[in-house]
Amino acid sequence: MGRYDLALIGFGGVNRALAELIAARGDRFAEELGFTLRVVAITDLRAGSLVDTAGIDLAPLLAAEPGELSFAGLPGGSADPRNKWVIREVPADIVVEATFTNPNDGEPALSHVRWALESGKHVCTTNKGPVALAGSELKRLAAEHGVSFEFEGSVLSGTPILRTAQRLLGGLEITGVQGIMNGTSNYILGRLEEGVELPTAVTQAQELGYAEADPTADIEGHDVQLKVMILANEVLGAGLRREDVSCTGISGITPQDAQDAISKGLRWKLVGSAARRPDGTVEARVAPVALPAHHALAGISGPVNAVAFHTDLLGTVTVSGPGAGRTETAYALLSDIIAIHQHHHADDDTAPLHRVLQETHRG
């Protein structure tokens, strides 16, 4: 039975949800997955930092209101997040990076990931920035230090998009990807189809918790742009930079446009796509597209997101699921930890997981 000691960097919704899963299901993970998880450090911009190499008791932290949590004064605690010191010096196996991050330079997450990999720690992150902007550098760094860099949650939360491409589609060529990868804009387009004006639809999306206080990145496509970069680079090996991905959002679509499209059997969707050109290079873009009703992505509505893989041998394979959500994104981190376990420490790549699931369910 292995055990992984985790350093949680950022203690907002996602890492808090991961801590809740560990607190509530730790025994089940041990039985099903063959490892236990222990949190040895937590850092947070507001709460400060907390270190206990014997394992932090999560229950009192999870009982506190998120806004009121402060680590100052606790044994091993500080009002200072001490990110660099915690990431580099605390003896954790896996650094779990889930901070709020600037999409322009990927900071502070990019530095967090670099520090962790350089100190020989595995990293899993839900942050798009470091993956989109420096994915190949970080993968090289991970390889140099013999550790893993996992980031399933950077695209569609825990819905297994990157791992479907990496693990389940070997031996064929993925010629392009196309996705609906932002729940807020997808919800808003649905409201426009019902005749609601954009500002009202945005307010409704905010009330439902889909949209941020500043919904610009959702509406103007910048959030999708980073995800397209990740897909283009990870799945098509494109090596694109942000300026290589043209980006148009949905603010130019009116309720009239949306309703006219429906009357023609079409649905406007904000589509992020990347496809290989005949010369081998990759073209990538984000733009509203009026999809015919029978298109694999046309029926993807509201907070559900989807990515379609176009392939040479299988035609189109589409994976849909939640695009966001605390627990759904925390599950992405758990799936990353499972991947690290299978890659580095399991005797056998996949059979145990499946076998245990079978036995557990049969009982």
Cβ atoms of 196 and 204 within 8 Å: the answer is yes
Q: Is residue 265 involved in binding a second copy (CB under 8 A)?
A: no
- The amino acid occupying position 242 is R
Q: How far is the CB of 94 from a second copy (least distance, A)?
A: 15
**Neighbouring residues of 107: CB distance < 8 A, sequence distance ≥ 6:** 101, 129
Round to whole Å and give the CA distance between 154 and 343.
20
| DSSP β-bridge partners for residue 123 | 95, 149
Round to whole Å and give the CA distance between 139 and 180.
26
Identified binder of a second copy from the candidate list 239, 241, 254, 265, rule CB under 8 A = 239
Among residue numbers 206 through 235, which ones bind a second copy (CB under 8 A)? 234
Three-state DSSP class for residue 196: coil
Q: Which is nearer to a second copy, 113 or 274 (CB)?
A: 274
Q: Is 121 a catalytic residue?
A: no
Among residue numbers 288 through 317, which ones bind a second copy (CB under 8 A)? 293-294, 296, 298-299, 301-302, 304, 306, 313-317
Three-state DSSP class for residue 18: helix
Q: Which is nearer to a second copy, 236 or 261 (CB)?
A: 236
212 is in an annotated binding site: yes
Identified binder of a second copy from the candidate list 19, 33, 123, 258, rule CB under 8 A = 33
Among residue numbers 311 through 350, which ones bind a second copy (CB under 8 A)? 313-322, 325, 327-328, 330-331, 334-335, 338-339, 342-343, 346, 348-350
Burial of 28 (C-beta count, 10 Å sphere; 0-12/13-18/19+) = exposed
Helix then strand count (H, E) for the chain reads 13, 13
* Residues marked as catalytic: 227
Contact residues for a second copy (CB under 8 A)? 21, 29, 32-33, 157-160, 163-164, 166-172, 234, 236-239, 276, 280, 293-294, 296, 298-299, 301-302, 304, 306, 313-322, 325, 327-328, 330-331, 334-335, 338-339, 342-343, 346, 348-351, 353-354, 357-363
